[in-house]
Chains A and B, each alone.
Chain A
Amino acid sequence: MVDFVTHHDFALIDSNRTREISLLIQIVAATVGTSYLLIFVPNVETITIGVFFMGFTFKTKFGFKTMLTTLIVWEMIATASYGFSMIAFPFKFLAWLLFFFAAKLAQKVNLNGNLEFAAIGSFCTVLWDAVATLSTAMVLSKTPEEFTAVYIASLILGIPFTIVHVATNTYLFFMFPYLLRSVVPHLRNKFPSLVEVSLNDEKE
């Protein structure tokens, strides 16, 4: 009997974990898959909005796990397309972590307007590029003294890419509330223990 109960409990726990892993895989696949469709369009990607969604929608632990998995899978996919940079990855990770924290903050203050999300998207994307470019400067500068000059030059030369990145992310973040309204109710029904966000529509 005890064995049965234990077995039953184990099966139940296992089932919850399976559901959690299943959701994680779906979110990672959606984020990486949509970004892969755009891989040959420079600086247009959906990883950032995906990371923000993970931070905004889910509880911190699950959101972080999903983000980490997404970034690792994305780096593997991106590596197959244009090579892996060991130095760049930690900086990109830090930059995406910034979005994750911004999402958590936005969730805490119960942000819901299109313009507010667009503002976060545009501002944080500039910071993302600034942080990610640090790795370029590290690779290209030969001495610590020339690091600042190389960093500024790298930022300037990357401006067309930054503009594309900022413009597309601003648009995607502007649309973020629509994404939330279409996805969160389903997630809340199926995975109530993982979803943290509460939408204004739901409150009413």
Chain B
Amino acid sequence: MMKKSEIVSLATIVLVFSAMGIGYLIYENETQVQKNFEETVMITLTIDYGGVKPNETHSSTFTKGTTVFEITATFSELKIKNYSSLGILVEGINGVISNANLTNYYWFYYVNGELGDRASNLFSLEKNSNVLWKYEAFSG
């Protein structure tokens, strides 16, 4: 038979550890919110149709590492050509097609003002960025 002081002590220990357990759940919840916040990036996507159609701008949060292609596909209908290991070439956005609506006009993308140096499905975004798709004359 337990003494009264032992029962009180046991109750205290159970209470303290229960409080710790509840505390841990709060901690988990808080850090998950923080983690989710830290793992997302804010992306602004602008599509410049080169005067064929009015320009569009979209903003949203995405998981870090989302590619330019995935972000673009979220907001628009794409016509693509897959070059397997070289990546996916975007030939058309929302019905505006490379070298079709306007002669020698193609789709190029820019991330924070810099021309994309690889296929858009291979360009991952790790920080808040501005993505611009521009239908422009190919001068190369």
Contact = CB atoms under 8 A, between A and B. Distances in A.
Interface string A157-170: 10110110010001
A156 B9 CA distance: 25
A126 B13 contact: no
Interface stretch (A9-17, A37-45, A64-72, A110-118): A110-118
A157 B27 contact: yes
Contacts of B13: 115, 118-119, 122, 170
Contacts of B24: 159-160, 163
Per DSSP, chain A at the interface is: helix
A166 B17 contact: yes
A123 B20 contact: no
Nearest to B23: A159
A116 B5 contact: yes
B23 A162 contact: yes
Contact of A122 (B6, B8, B16): B16
Given A122-B17, A166-B16, A166-B20, A160 B27 contact: yes
Interface string B6-46: 10111011001101100110110011000000000000000
B12 A123 contact: yes
B31 to A, nearest CB: 8
Given A116-B6, A156-B26, A156-B30, A162 B12 contact: no
Nearest to A155: B23
Interface residues of A, number: 16
A113 B10 CA distance: 11
A159 B27 contact: yes
A119 B26 contact: no
B9 A118 contact: yes
A157 B31 CA distance: 8
Contacts of A118: 9, 13
Contacts of A116: 5-6, 9
Interface string A93-124: 00000000000000000000101101100110
Given A157-B27, A160-B27, A113 B16 contact: no
A8 to B, nearest CB: 50
A140 to B, nearest CB: 16
Contacts of B26: 156, 159
Nearest to B21: A163
B12 A113 contact: no
14 contacts: A115-B6, A115-B9, A116-B6, A123-B12, A123-B16, A156-B23, A156-B26, A159-B24, A159-B26, A162-B20, A163-B20, A163-B23, A166-B20, A170-B13
Top 8 A-B pairs, shortest CB-CB distance: A119-B9, A119-B12, A115-B9, A159-B27, A122-B16, A159-B23, A116-B9, A115-B6
